[in-house]
């Protein structure tokens, strides 16, 4: 049981890291400035969190749905790609209303 718990924790950390990295990239290219000057404003960190948590949540949901059907690596990759796409689409559609 300890091995399964460690495996799950490692996957969750990988998913969280990928959602943070994706969001950092999106904020880096935002409005064509290609810099991290947005980090100096607290309000931008709030927006950053608004992007990270839904992306991570959808990645985690996909992982829970397919985790037992694929190997560790494949399930993690599928969760990152599909979960990030769904999460990012959900955030953008929610914020554009």
Within a domain: 84? yes
Within a domain: 97? yes
What's the total number of domains in the chain?
1
Within a domain: 57? yes
- Per-residue pLDDT of 47-61, as tens digits, reads 999 999 999 999 999
Within a domain: 4? no
- Per-residue pLDDT of 18-77, as tens digits, reads 999 999 999 999 877 888 888 899 999 999 999 999 999 999 999 999 988 999 899 999
Within a domain: 28? no
Within a domain: 33? no
DSSP per-residue codes, the chain: -HHHHHHHHHHHHHHHHHHHHHHHHHHHHGGG--S-GGGG-HHHHHHHHHHHHHHHHHHHHHHHHHTTTS-HHHHHHHHHHHHHHHHHHHHHHHHT-
Q: Provide the 3-class DSSP secondary structure of residue 91.
A: helix
Within a domain: 3? no
pLDDT at 4: 57
Within a domain: 1? no
Q: Which domain holds residue 84?
A: 45-97
Min mean pLDDT across 11-15, 46-50, 52-56, 93-97 is at: 93-97
Tokens of 54: 């839904």
Q: In this model, does residue 2 exceed pLDDT 60?
A: no
């Amino acid at each position: 049981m300890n091995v399964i718990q460690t495996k799950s924790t490692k996957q969750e950390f990988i998913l969280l890291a990928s959602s943070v990295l994706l969001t950092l990239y999106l904020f880096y290219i935002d409005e064509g400035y290609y810099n991290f000057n947005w980090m100096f404003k607290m309000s931008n960190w709030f927006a950053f969190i608004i992007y990270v948590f839904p992306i991570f949540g959808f990645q985690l949901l996909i992982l829970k749905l397919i985790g037992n059907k694929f190997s560790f690596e494949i399930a993690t990759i599928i969760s990152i790609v599909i979960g990030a796409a769904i999460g990012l689409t959900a955030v953008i559609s929610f914020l554009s209303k």
